[in-house]
Structure 1
Amino acid sequence: MRPLTKAGLGLVAIIGLVQALAVMALTWPLAGVRTWLLLYWQPAHWVLFGLAAFVGLAFLIMLLVAVLRPSTTTKLVLANDRGDLSVSKQAVENAVAKAVAAAHPVKGVTVDATMHKTQVKQATIDAYSLEPTNLKTQVEGIEATAQGKLERLLGVPVKKIKVNLHPGTKAPGNAARVL
Protein backbone atom coordinates (compact mmCIF):
# COMPACT_ATOMS: atom_id res chain seq x y z
CA MET A 1 0.00 0.00 0.00
CA ARG A 2 1.30 3.44 -0.85
CA PRO A 3 2.32 5.73 2.03
CA LEU A 4 -0.15 8.42 0.96
CA THR A 5 -2.98 5.89 0.97
CA LYS A 6 -1.93 4.65 4.41
CA ALA A 7 -1.84 8.21 5.74
CA GLY A 8 -5.27 8.98 4.31
CA LEU A 9 -6.80 5.82 5.78
CA GLY A 10 -5.14 6.56 9.12
CA LEU A 11 -6.53 10.10 9.15
CA VAL A 12 -10.05 8.88 8.38
CA ALA A 13 -9.74 6.22 11.09
CA ILE A 14 -8.56 8.70 13.73
CA ILE A 15 -11.28 11.22 12.89
CA GLY A 16 -13.87 8.44 12.87
CA LEU A 17 -12.72 7.21 16.29
CA VAL A 18 -12.78 10.73 17.78
CA GLN A 19 -16.21 11.33 16.34
CA ALA A 20 -17.53 8.00 17.63
CA LEU A 21 -16.14 8.64 21.11
CA ALA A 22 -17.63 12.14 21.20
CA VAL A 23 -21.05 10.89 20.11
CA MET A 24 -20.88 8.12 22.71
CA ALA A 25 -19.96 10.67 25.39
CA LEU A 26 -22.94 12.82 24.45
CA THR A 27 -25.45 9.97 24.26
CA TRP A 28 -24.24 7.69 27.03
CA PRO A 29 -25.09 8.86 30.56
CA LEU A 30 -21.61 10.05 31.47
CA ALA A 31 -22.69 13.11 33.38
CA GLY A 32 -19.24 14.66 33.88
CA VAL A 33 -18.13 14.42 30.28
CA ARG A 34 -21.50 15.42 28.93
CA THR A 35 -21.73 18.45 31.22
CA TRP A 36 -18.25 19.60 30.25
CA LEU A 37 -18.97 19.17 26.53
CA LEU A 38 -22.33 20.96 26.63
CA LEU A 39 -21.63 23.75 29.13
CA TYR A 40 -17.98 24.68 28.77
CA TRP A 41 -17.32 23.84 25.16
CA GLN A 42 -20.17 25.37 23.20
CA PRO A 43 -18.88 24.58 19.69
CA ALA A 44 -19.19 20.84 20.44
CA HIS A 45 -22.27 20.51 18.27
CA TRP A 46 -20.58 22.15 15.29
CA VAL A 47 -17.40 20.13 15.73
CA LEU A 48 -19.34 16.88 15.94
CA PHE A 49 -21.39 17.88 12.91
CA GLY A 50 -18.19 18.66 10.97
CA LEU A 51 -16.58 15.36 12.00
CA ALA A 52 -19.71 13.44 11.03
CA ALA A 53 -19.81 15.22 7.66
CA PHE A 54 -16.13 14.41 7.01
CA VAL A 55 -16.54 10.74 7.94
CA GLY A 56 -19.73 10.51 5.86
CA LEU A 57 -17.99 12.05 2.86
CA ALA A 58 -15.01 9.70 3.26
CA PHE A 59 -17.28 6.67 3.35
CA LEU A 60 -19.21 7.95 0.34
CA ILE A 61 -15.96 8.24 -1.60
CA MET A 62 -14.95 4.73 -0.51
CA LEU A 63 -18.32 3.40 -1.68
CA LEU A 64 -18.00 5.11 -5.07
CA VAL A 65 -14.48 3.73 -5.54
CA ALA A 66 -15.66 0.23 -4.60
CA VAL A 67 -18.61 0.37 -6.99
CA LEU A 68 -17.12 2.24 -9.97
CA ARG A 69 -13.50 1.01 -10.10
CA PRO A 70 -13.14 -1.99 -12.40
CA SER A 71 -11.96 -5.09 -10.59
CA THR A 72 -8.92 -7.05 -11.66
CA THR A 73 -9.05 -10.71 -12.58
CA THR A 74 -6.74 -13.67 -13.11
CA LYS A 75 -8.46 -14.73 -16.33
CA LEU A 76 -8.76 -12.67 -19.48
CA VAL A 77 -11.84 -13.45 -21.59
CA LEU A 78 -11.44 -12.96 -25.33
CA ALA A 79 -14.67 -13.15 -27.33
CA ASN A 80 -14.91 -13.84 -31.03
CA ASP A 81 -17.47 -15.30 -33.46
CA ARG A 82 -16.53 -18.91 -32.53
CA GLY A 83 -16.93 -18.45 -28.76
CA ASP A 84 -15.03 -17.20 -25.76
CA LEU A 85 -11.41 -17.95 -24.97
CA SER A 86 -10.14 -17.68 -21.41
CA VAL A 87 -6.43 -16.93 -20.93
CA SER A 88 -4.88 -17.12 -17.46
CA LYS A 89 -2.71 -14.38 -16.01
CA GLN A 90 0.16 -16.82 -15.52
CA ALA A 91 0.08 -17.82 -19.20
CA VAL A 92 0.23 -14.19 -20.30
CA GLU A 93 3.10 -13.42 -17.91
CA ASN A 94 5.11 -16.52 -18.94
CA ALA A 95 4.66 -15.80 -22.65
CA VAL A 96 5.91 -12.22 -22.26
CA ALA A 97 8.83 -13.27 -20.04
CA LYS A 98 9.97 -15.89 -22.54
CA ALA A 99 9.65 -13.48 -25.48
CA VAL A 100 11.68 -10.78 -23.70
CA ALA A 101 14.38 -13.22 -22.55
CA ALA A 102 14.69 -14.70 -26.04
CA ALA A 103 14.92 -11.36 -27.85
CA HIS A 104 17.12 -9.33 -25.49
CA PRO A 105 20.35 -9.85 -23.51
CA VAL A 106 18.66 -10.03 -20.09
CA LYS A 107 18.25 -12.54 -17.29
CA GLY A 108 15.93 -12.91 -14.34
CA VAL A 109 12.90 -11.68 -16.28
CA THR A 110 9.70 -11.45 -14.24
CA VAL A 111 6.41 -10.08 -15.49
CA ASP A 112 3.42 -8.91 -13.46
CA ALA A 113 0.26 -8.25 -15.46
CA THR A 114 -2.81 -6.41 -14.22
CA MET A 115 -5.84 -7.56 -16.16
CA HIS A 116 -9.48 -6.60 -16.28
CA LYS A 117 -12.09 -8.92 -17.72
CA THR A 118 -11.48 -8.01 -21.37
CA GLN A 119 -8.19 -6.09 -21.42
CA VAL A 120 -4.69 -5.96 -20.01
CA LYS A 121 -4.33 -2.71 -18.11
CA GLN A 122 -0.65 -2.85 -17.24
CA ALA A 123 2.35 -5.14 -17.55
CA THR A 124 5.36 -4.54 -15.31
CA ILE A 125 8.59 -6.22 -16.43
CA ASP A 126 11.61 -6.61 -14.15
CA ALA A 127 14.86 -7.79 -15.71
CA TYR A 128 18.63 -7.70 -15.25
CA SER A 129 20.64 -6.52 -18.23
CA LEU A 130 23.70 -8.44 -19.35
CA GLU A 131 24.96 -5.35 -21.20
CA PRO A 132 25.35 -2.40 -18.80
CA THR A 133 25.47 0.23 -21.58
CA ASN A 134 22.51 1.81 -23.38
CA LEU A 135 19.91 0.77 -20.82
CA LYS A 136 17.40 3.26 -22.21
CA THR A 137 17.60 1.70 -25.66
CA GLN A 138 17.21 -1.75 -24.14
CA VAL A 139 14.14 -0.61 -22.19
CA GLU A 140 12.53 0.72 -25.37
CA GLY A 141 13.28 -2.57 -27.15
CA ILE A 142 11.83 -4.61 -24.27
CA GLU A 143 8.68 -2.45 -24.29
CA ALA A 144 8.27 -2.99 -28.04
CA THR A 145 8.83 -6.74 -27.71
CA ALA A 146 6.31 -7.04 -24.87
CA GLN A 147 3.76 -4.85 -26.68
CA GLY A 148 4.10 -6.91 -29.85
CA LYS A 149 3.87 -10.24 -28.02
CA LEU A 150 0.79 -9.19 -26.07
CA GLU A 151 -0.94 -7.80 -29.14
CA ARG A 152 -0.18 -10.95 -31.14
CA LEU A 153 -1.06 -13.30 -28.28
CA LEU A 154 -4.25 -11.58 -27.15
CA GLY A 155 -5.30 -9.44 -30.06
CA VAL A 156 -5.94 -6.47 -27.76
CA PRO A 157 -3.65 -3.51 -27.09
CA VAL A 158 -2.10 -3.07 -23.66
CA LYS A 159 -2.65 0.29 -21.98
CA LYS A 160 0.71 0.55 -20.20
CA ILE A 161 3.98 -1.34 -20.15
CA LYS A 162 6.48 -0.51 -17.44
CA VAL A 163 10.03 -1.87 -17.60
CA ASN A 164 12.41 -1.94 -14.63
CA LEU A 165 15.81 -2.80 -16.07
CA HIS A 166 18.64 -3.29 -13.59
CA PRO A 167 22.35 -3.55 -14.39
CA GLY A 168 23.50 -7.16 -14.58
CA THR A 169 25.97 -6.74 -11.72
CA LYS A 170 23.03 -6.47 -9.30
CA ALA A 171 21.41 -9.68 -10.52
CA PRO A 172 20.69 -12.28 -7.86
CA GLY A 173 22.74 -15.45 -8.11
CA ASN A 174 19.76 -17.66 -8.84
CA ALA A 175 18.33 -15.45 -11.62
CA ALA A 176 18.42 -17.71 -14.65
CA ARG A 177 17.72 -16.71 -18.21
CA VAL A 178 14.40 -18.07 -19.44
CA LEU A 179 14.77 -19.99 -22.68
Structure 2
Amino acid sequence: MRPITKALLGLVAVVGIVQSLAVMALTWPVTAVRAWLLLYWQPLHWVLFGLAAFVGLAFLIMLLAAVLTRSTTTNLVLANDRGDLSVSKQAVENAVAKSVAATHPVKGVAVAATMHKSAVKKAEIDAYSLEPTDLKAQAEAIKQTAHDKLEQMLGVPVKQIKVHLHPGAAASGKTARVL
Protein backbone atom coordinates (compact mmCIF):
# COMPACT_ATOMS: atom_id res chain seq x y z
CA MET A 1 0.00 0.00 0.00
CA ARG A 2 1.36 3.39 -0.91
CA PRO A 3 1.99 5.97 1.82
CA ILE A 4 -0.62 8.42 0.54
CA THR A 5 -3.23 5.63 0.46
CA LYS A 6 -2.30 4.63 3.99
CA ALA A 7 -2.59 8.24 5.17
CA LEU A 8 -6.02 8.70 3.57
CA LEU A 9 -7.26 5.35 4.89
CA GLY A 10 -6.00 6.27 8.37
CA LEU A 11 -7.75 9.65 8.23
CA VAL A 12 -11.05 8.03 7.19
CA ALA A 13 -10.68 5.45 9.96
CA VAL A 14 -10.06 8.10 12.64
CA VAL A 15 -13.09 10.09 11.46
CA GLY A 16 -15.22 6.93 11.51
CA ILE A 17 -14.10 5.98 15.02
CA VAL A 18 -14.88 9.47 16.31
CA GLN A 19 -18.24 9.40 14.54
CA SER A 20 -19.23 6.05 16.01
CA LEU A 21 -18.20 7.11 19.52
CA ALA A 22 -20.24 10.30 19.14
CA VAL A 23 -23.31 8.35 18.00
CA MET A 24 -22.98 5.98 20.95
CA ALA A 25 -22.49 8.86 23.41
CA LEU A 26 -25.47 10.79 22.06
CA THR A 27 -27.96 7.95 21.75
CA TRP A 28 -27.35 6.04 24.95
CA PRO A 29 -27.65 8.49 27.90
CA VAL A 30 -30.43 10.80 26.56
CA THR A 31 -33.37 10.24 28.96
CA ALA A 32 -36.17 11.57 26.73
CA VAL A 33 -35.18 9.32 23.85
CA ARG A 34 -34.64 6.43 26.24
CA ALA A 35 -38.14 6.86 27.73
CA TRP A 36 -39.66 6.96 24.23
CA LEU A 37 -37.73 3.84 23.25
CA LEU A 38 -38.91 1.98 26.35
CA LEU A 39 -42.53 2.88 25.54
CA TYR A 40 -42.59 2.08 21.83
CA TRP A 41 -39.75 -0.23 20.89
CA GLN A 42 -37.34 -1.34 23.55
CA PRO A 43 -34.92 -3.29 21.32
CA LEU A 44 -34.26 -0.19 19.16
CA HIS A 45 -31.61 1.30 21.45
CA TRP A 46 -29.79 -2.03 21.53
CA VAL A 47 -29.94 -2.18 17.74
CA LEU A 48 -28.61 1.38 17.44
CA PHE A 49 -25.86 0.69 19.96
CA GLY A 50 -24.93 -2.56 18.20
CA LEU A 51 -24.80 -0.88 14.79
CA ALA A 52 -22.63 1.94 16.16
CA ALA A 53 -20.32 -0.63 17.75
CA PHE A 54 -20.12 -2.50 14.44
CA VAL A 55 -19.23 0.69 12.56
CA GLY A 56 -16.62 1.55 15.19
CA LEU A 57 -15.09 -1.92 14.94
CA ALA A 58 -14.99 -1.72 11.13
CA PHE A 59 -13.16 1.61 11.28
CA LEU A 60 -10.79 0.26 13.94
CA ILE A 61 -9.89 -2.60 11.58
CA MET A 62 -9.35 -0.07 8.76
CA LEU A 63 -7.05 1.96 11.00
CA LEU A 64 -5.02 -1.12 11.94
CA ALA A 65 -4.74 -2.09 8.25
CA ALA A 66 -3.52 1.42 7.39
CA VAL A 67 -0.93 1.45 10.15
CA LEU A 68 0.36 -2.12 10.01
CA THR A 69 0.69 -2.87 6.27
CA ARG A 70 3.99 -2.16 4.59
CA SER A 71 4.15 0.47 1.88
CA THR A 72 4.86 -0.49 -1.71
CA THR A 73 6.90 1.74 -3.97
CA THR A 74 7.73 2.24 -7.63
CA ASN A 75 11.46 2.73 -6.93
CA LEU A 76 13.71 0.20 -5.28
CA VAL A 77 16.51 1.81 -3.25
CA LEU A 78 19.80 -0.10 -3.17
CA ALA A 79 22.24 1.20 -0.58
CA ASN A 80 25.98 0.50 -0.61
CA ASP A 81 29.19 2.17 0.57
CA ARG A 82 29.25 4.53 -2.44
CA GLY A 83 25.71 5.84 -1.98
CA ASP A 84 22.16 4.95 -2.86
CA LEU A 85 20.95 3.68 -6.22
CA SER A 86 17.29 3.94 -7.20
CA VAL A 87 15.94 1.36 -9.66
CA SER A 88 12.48 1.88 -11.14
CA LYS A 89 9.78 -0.78 -11.14
CA GLN A 90 9.62 -0.66 -14.94
CA ALA A 91 13.37 -1.35 -15.23
CA VAL A 92 13.08 -4.39 -12.97
CA GLU A 93 10.09 -5.71 -14.91
CA ASN A 94 11.77 -5.17 -18.30
CA ALA A 95 15.00 -6.87 -17.18
CA VAL A 96 13.15 -9.95 -15.96
CA ALA A 97 10.96 -10.09 -19.10
CA LYS A 98 13.98 -9.87 -21.42
CA SER A 99 15.87 -12.51 -19.44
CA VAL A 100 12.93 -14.94 -19.54
CA ALA A 101 12.27 -14.33 -23.26
CA ALA A 102 15.95 -14.83 -24.11
CA THR A 103 16.34 -18.03 -22.09
CA HIS A 104 13.08 -19.91 -22.64
CA PRO A 105 10.88 -20.70 -25.68
CA VAL A 106 8.11 -18.27 -24.75
CA LYS A 107 6.45 -15.22 -26.26
CA GLY A 108 4.33 -12.40 -24.88
CA VAL A 109 6.20 -12.18 -21.60
CA ALA A 110 4.65 -9.72 -19.15
CA VAL A 111 6.04 -9.11 -15.68
CA ALA A 112 4.31 -7.29 -12.80
CA ALA A 113 6.46 -6.60 -9.75
CA THR A 114 5.45 -5.42 -6.30
CA MET A 115 8.31 -3.80 -4.42
CA HIS A 116 9.00 -2.49 -0.97
CA LYS A 117 11.69 0.10 -0.30
CA SER A 118 14.56 -2.41 -0.25
CA ALA A 119 13.13 -5.74 -1.48
CA VAL A 120 11.01 -7.23 -4.23
CA LYS A 121 7.91 -8.62 -2.53
CA LYS A 122 6.31 -10.36 -5.48
CA ALA A 123 6.84 -10.82 -9.20
CA GLU A 124 4.13 -12.25 -11.43
CA ILE A 125 5.18 -13.51 -14.86
CA ASP A 126 2.62 -14.13 -17.57
CA ALA A 127 3.85 -15.81 -20.78
CA TYR A 128 2.80 -18.02 -23.70
CA SER A 129 4.81 -21.19 -24.28
CA LEU A 130 5.98 -22.12 -27.78
CA GLU A 131 6.37 -25.74 -26.63
CA PRO A 132 3.00 -26.93 -25.27
CA THR A 133 4.45 -30.03 -23.55
CA ASP A 134 5.29 -30.13 -19.84
CA LEU A 135 4.19 -26.60 -18.95
CA LYS A 136 4.81 -27.24 -15.25
CA ALA A 137 8.53 -27.91 -15.77
CA GLN A 138 8.81 -24.87 -18.05
CA ALA A 139 7.10 -22.71 -15.42
CA GLU A 140 9.54 -23.89 -12.76
CA ALA A 141 12.50 -23.14 -15.05
CA ILE A 142 11.11 -19.66 -15.78
CA LYS A 143 10.63 -19.10 -12.05
CA GLN A 144 14.25 -20.05 -11.39
CA THR A 145 15.51 -17.82 -14.21
CA ALA A 146 13.53 -14.85 -12.88
CA HIS A 147 14.74 -15.50 -9.34
CA ASP A 148 18.36 -15.73 -10.46
CA LYS A 149 18.07 -12.57 -12.57
CA LEU A 150 16.55 -10.56 -9.71
CA GLU A 151 19.09 -11.82 -7.18
CA GLN A 152 22.02 -11.25 -9.57
CA MET A 153 20.89 -7.87 -10.88
CA LEU A 154 19.65 -6.35 -7.63
CA GLY A 155 21.26 -8.34 -4.85
CA VAL A 156 18.10 -8.07 -2.75
CA PRO A 157 15.80 -10.82 -1.52
CA VAL A 158 12.80 -11.86 -3.62
CA LYS A 159 9.92 -13.12 -1.51
CA GLN A 160 7.61 -14.69 -4.09
CA ILE A 161 7.55 -15.39 -7.83
CA LYS A 162 4.42 -16.62 -9.59
CA VAL A 163 4.47 -17.87 -13.18
CA HIS A 164 1.33 -18.08 -15.32
CA LEU A 165 2.30 -20.07 -18.41
CA HIS A 166 -0.26 -20.55 -21.18
CA PRO A 167 -0.09 -22.77 -24.27
CA GLY A 168 1.23 -20.88 -27.30
CA ALA A 169 -1.94 -21.42 -29.35
CA ALA A 170 -3.87 -19.20 -26.92
CA ALA A 171 -1.63 -16.18 -27.61
CA SER A 172 -3.14 -13.36 -29.60
CA GLY A 173 -1.48 -12.04 -32.74
CA LYS A 174 -1.02 -8.57 -31.21
CA THR A 175 1.32 -9.71 -28.42
CA ALA A 176 4.37 -7.49 -28.10
CA ARG A 177 7.69 -9.13 -28.82
CA VAL A 178 10.51 -8.72 -26.32
CA LEU A 179 14.02 -8.75 -27.75
Give the shorter-chain TM-score range: 0.7 to 0.9
Gaps of 5+ in 2: 1-15, 28-33
Partner residue in 2 for 1:93: 93
Partner residue in 1 for 2:118: 118
Partner residue in 2 for 1:107: 107
In the alignment, residue 65 of structure 1 is paired with which amino acid?
A: A
Q: TM-score, normalised by structure 2?
A: 0.79
SS in 1 for 2:158: coil
In the alignment, residue 49 of structure 1 is paired with which amino acid?
A: F
Partner residue in 1 for 2:40: 40
Write the mapping of 1:1-179 to structure 2, written as runs, cut at 5 A.
Answer: 39-179=39-179
Tell me if the contact between 1:106 and 1:177 (Cα under 8 Å) persists in the aligned partners: no
CA distance in 1, matches of 2:37, 2:133: 68
Question: CA offsets per residue over residues 90-143 of structure 1, 9 Å max, x none?
Answer: 000000000000000000000000001111100000000000000000000000
Q: CA deviation at 1:45?
A: 1.3
CA distance in 1, matches of 2:103, 2:96: 11
Q: RMSD of the alignment, in Å?
A: 2.3
CA distance in 2, matches of 1:79, 1:121: 17
CA distance in 1, matches of 2:95, 2:164: 18
CA distance in 2, matches of 1:178, 1:39: 75
CA distance in 2, matches of 1:38, 1:67: 41
CA distance in 1, matches of 2:39, 2:170: 66
SS in 1 for 2:97: helix
CA distance in 2, matches of 1:38, 1:128: 68
Partner residue in 1 for 2:7: none
SS in 1 for 2:132: coil
Q: TM-score, normalised by structure 1?
A: 0.79
Tell me if the contact between 1:112 and 1:125 (Cα under 8 Å) persists in the aligned partners: yes
SS in 2 for 1:159: strand
Spell out structure 1 runs of 4+ moving beyond 4 A: 34-38
CA distance in 1, matches of 2:144, 2:56: 46
Q: CA deviation at 1:177?
A: 3.3
Q: CA deviation at 1:39?
A: 2.8
SS in 2 for 1:152: helix
